[in-house]
């Protein structure tokens, strides 16, 4: 008999499926011996000495060509997180391992400074914390994101931050001088205004009210802020789209974006299990709309469609977004717009006379 799934308090999932590279598969079953399953699971942190911290990409779907991710895995535990499959490269599960067995790049500041100091380096805005949140709870202890911002401020290098963590406000003393030199913008990911839905969907991320407070505080401090409504999940939170945009606009966001739910690799079965547990009566309808928006599959990775989808539901969502942005006076979302690359000045490097 297959063992029932035991919910782990404060985590997005209780299951730990084999990653797609695992040479063998295992399945738990009840052998008649009673076992006490712990109601919680502690977070483990491994240290990584990174050889490089700047990640390059050529994707036409994102507005940057380089990023920095201080952490592998994310304690926020968002069940839908597109980054979960990346844990497979470390022979870890995209399930509960992704939320609890984290990797911190402890030499991040040192490597970032070395890479920015290389002769011939041409500055373009760095996206900070794209794969996993740079302001997840672990950052409170590790402070790697803060160290990266200190380097970027010293080098006068532009940076774009995207987060759903309120810890970003801790670094106002760095963000304000960066903003004064047009070197920073911050995008706050806002998924729902419903605290109960947030609790199951994104267990350890900041509350909706805390994220709106982040937008308001940053805006009042002169830091450019935008909102990212992501992901929009059919029949789960898509009906909140207009309210999310209205709340963000009132809090200070001046540009906005959205992303349709993405379910690459191991994320699909994890999300389906979550749906069956929390929304059993509408699970099939949700998955049907997802497949309709992804060419009949759980996920379509093609550039140009992977962020927004296609088909009637996706087109309707895009239309609603455009109309709401027009009504609310949002600017076109360009996360790197206005960031100044001309100020880049590595400490100790002789400046050009002409």
pLDDT of residue 285: 98
How many structural domains is the chain composed of? Answer: 1
Give the chain's end-to-end CA distance (angstroms, integer).
76
Helix (H, G, I), strand (E, B) or coil at 320: helix
- Closest by CA position to 69, among listed 112, 11, 110, 20: 112
Which pTM value belongs to this model?
0.89
Alpha carbon separation from 348 to 46, 113, 193, 342 (Å, rounded): 34, 12, 48, 17
pLDDT of residue 21: 59
In a domain, 351, yes or no: no
Angle of helix 267-278 versus helix 283-293 axis, rounded to 10: 150
- Closest by CA position to 307, among listed 247, 238, 258: 258
Give the residue carrying structure tokens 């672990």.
138
Check residue 252 and give left, alpha or beta (phi > 0: left; psi -120 to 50: alpha): left
CATH number assigned to the domain comprising residue 190: 3.80.30.30
Helix (H, G, I), strand (E, B) or coil at 47: strand
Triad 123, 126, 129: Cα angle to 5°: 165
Question: Beta 66-68 vs 225-232: how paired, if at all?
Answer: unpaired
Strands (E) located in the chain: 44-48, 55-56, 66-68, 71-72, 101-105, 126-128, 159-163, 184-189, 225-232, 255-260, 331-332
Give the residue carrying structure tokens 């759980």.
298
pLDDT of residue 32: 45
pLDDT of residue 16: 64
In a domain, 131, yes or no: yes
In a domain, 185, yes or no: yes
- Closest by CA position to 99, among listed 80, 78, 85: 78
Query: Which residues make beta-bridge pairs with 159?
Result: 126, 184
pLDDT of residue 351: 53
CB atoms within 10 A of CB 325: 20
In a domain, 320, yes or no: yes
Element (H, E) at 119: none
Domain of residue 70, residue span? 44-334
CA atoms within 13 A on the CB side of 241: 24
Given a cut of 70, the residues of the chain with pLDDT beneath it are: 1-7, 9, 14-40, 333-337, 349-354
Distance CA 109, CA 148 (A): 5
Backbone phi and psi for residue 230, each to the nearest 5 degrees, phi listed first: -155, 140
Whole-angstrom Cα Rg for the chain? 21
b/e 72-90 (16+ beta carbons within 10 angstroms → b):
bbbbbbbbbbbbbbbbbeb
In a domain, 90, yes or no: yes
Give the residue carrying structure tokens 């911190």.
104
In a domain, 115, yes or no: yes
In a domain, 101, yes or no: yes
In a domain, 285, yes or no: yes
pLDDT of residue 7: 65
């Amino acid at each position: 008999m297959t063992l029932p799934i035991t919910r782990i308090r404060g985590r997005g999932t209780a299951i730990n499926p084999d990653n797609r590279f695992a040479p063998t598969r295992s399945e738990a079953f009840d052998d008649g011996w009673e076992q006490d399953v712990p109601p919680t699971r502690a977070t483990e942190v491994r240290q990584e000495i990174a050889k490089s911290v700047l990640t390059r990409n050529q994707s036409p779907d994102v507005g940057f060509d380089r990023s920095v991710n201080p952490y592998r895995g994310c304690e926020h535990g968002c069940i839908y997180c597109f980054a979960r499959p990346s844990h497979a490269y470390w022979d870890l599960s995209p399930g509960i391992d992704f939320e609890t067995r984290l990797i911190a790049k402890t030499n991040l500041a040192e490597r970032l400074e070395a890479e920015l100091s290389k002769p011939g380096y041409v500055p373009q805005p760095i996206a900070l914390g794209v794969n996993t949140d740079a302001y997840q709870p672990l950052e409170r202890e590790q402070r790697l994101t803060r160290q990266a911002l200190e380097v970027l401020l010293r080098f006068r290098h532009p940076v774009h931050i995207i987060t759903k963590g309120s810890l970003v406000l801790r670094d106002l003393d760095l963000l304000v001088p960066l903003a004064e030199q047009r070197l920073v913008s911050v995008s706050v990911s806002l998924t729902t205004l419903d605290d109960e839905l947030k609790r199951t969907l994104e267990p350890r991320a900041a509350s909706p009210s805390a994220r709106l407070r982040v937008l308001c505080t940053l805006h009042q401090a002169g830091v450019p802020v935008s909102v990212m409504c992501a992901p929009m999940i059919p029949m789960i939170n898509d009906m909140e789209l207009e309210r999310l945009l209205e709340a963000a606009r009132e809090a200070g966001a001046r540009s906005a974006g959205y992303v349709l739910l993405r379910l690459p690799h191991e994320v699909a079965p994890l999300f389906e299990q979550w749906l069956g547990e929390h929304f059993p009566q509408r699970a099939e309808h949700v998955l049907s709309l997802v497949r309709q928006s992804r060419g009949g599959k759980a996920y379509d990775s093609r550039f140009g469609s992977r962020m927004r989808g296609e088909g009637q539901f996706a087109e309707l969502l895009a239309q609603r977004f455009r109309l709401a942005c027009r009504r609310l006076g949002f600017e076109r979302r360009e996360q790197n717009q206005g960031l100044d690359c001309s100020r880049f000045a590595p400490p100790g490097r002789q400046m050009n006379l002409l």
